[in-house]
Amino acid sequence: MDHVNMQHEKVVSEPLAQNRSDAANANTVAQLQATLASAADTVQEHLQAFFADPDDIETNHHFRTNIRRLRSLVTFVKPWQRSKQNAETQTILRDIVRHTSLLRELDVFEKQVRANPDSSDELIALCAKAASTERARVLGTLASASVTQTFKRAMTLAKNVEWKRRYATHGLPQSAVRARYYGMIESVRADLDVLDLSDAERTHDVRKRAKRARYVAELYANILGADAMDVAKDMTAHQDGLGDICDARANIRLIDEFLKQELPESVRRELIHLRTQNESFLCDALHTP
């Protein structure tokens, strides 16, 4: 009789355990979706903030940052989202952020120029004019009908993810999400260990991936757990160091473009001096003579 009762309890408990597992897995998918939708809302808010006050360089910066945060989330869920939808969302977000890249570089360079007490009013005016011209172009592009339409499309896709059938039906265990995250971290760390900082393209790529790991940890903390935040802090340190290198390279490119213009000799000398400073920083960062 006891044997019969044990068999009966096993038959009853197995479906209950499966139901609890399915519910937990479904909740993981719901959390992933909710975070994506919230991130999309934040991007829309920052776009409106940029339109409202485009002369504040931080509004463009925050808009760009939050697009990258959303794109990091979309990249992260790629194994579980329908491939076509994931690719379309990533492409739109990438193209939109590219529209703002030159403006961000000009803003960073102008900030460096203004921070230098020896910068002349003429050089500051040159930088401000270049940034203002680019800002007007960016505003026009982002407000255009075509970009507005594709932007809305990306936000709709992010808020209505089409999961692959097995995950839509059975959900996703948190362990799978954590495994993907720590796989990302191991990959970034492996590349950091062998990174040749003189390779500008590779440095830029690894920096973006370190950012992505940080953003995912921050935004999916409710799934990944507190230990992921410690990893994110480590990624932030690497990201900041690589960011300074990338900024110096961007500054040199901008200076070279300015030097192609007809400029007063005094401004030309200032630009050449700034170029030398950025080159010196790169030499120190890359440990080259």
pLDDT digits (tens, 9 = 90+) for 197-239: 888 888 888 888 888 888 999 899 889 987 887 877 777 776 7
Task: Give Cα separations from 238 to 103, 235, 245 (angstroms).
Answer: 24, 5, 11
CATH dotted code for 29-171? 1.20.120
Q: At what angle do helices 200-219 and 57-76 cross, to 10 degrees?
A: 80
Cβ-contact 223, 177 below 8 angstroms: yes
What's the CA gap between 105 and 65, in Å, rounded? Answer: 14
Q: Is 163 helix (H, G, I), strand (E, B) or coil?
A: strand
- What was the pLDDT predicted at 12? 44
Tokens of 279: 């080159």
List, for residues 164-190, the tens digit of each pLDDT value: 999 999 999 999 999 999 999 899 889
List, for residues 226-272, the tens digit of each pLDDT value: 788 787 777 777 677 788 888 999 999 999 999 999 999 999 999 99
Distance of CA 124 to the CA centre of its chain: 30
What's the CA gap between 123 and 113, in Å, rounded? Answer: 8
Q: Where are the domains of the chain?
A: 29-171, 173-289
Cβ-contact 219, 73 below 8 angstroms: yes
- What was the pLDDT predicted at 11? 47
Radius of gyration over alpha carbons of the chain, in Å?
24
Cβ-contact 261, 214 below 8 angstroms: no
Q: What integer best gives the mean pLDDT of the chain? A: 90
Cβ-contact 205, 61 below 8 angstroms: no
What's the CA gap between 266 and 93, in Å, rounded? Answer: 41
Provide the whole-model pTM: 0.87
Task: Give Cα separations from 38 to 32, 75, 160, 181, 220 (angstroms).
Answer: 10, 16, 12, 20, 11
Residue closest to 75 by CA, chosen among 32, 133, 106: 32
Reported as type and span, the H/E element at residue 144 is none
Task: Give Cα separations from 166 to 23, 50, 258 (angstroms).
Answer: 14, 40, 55
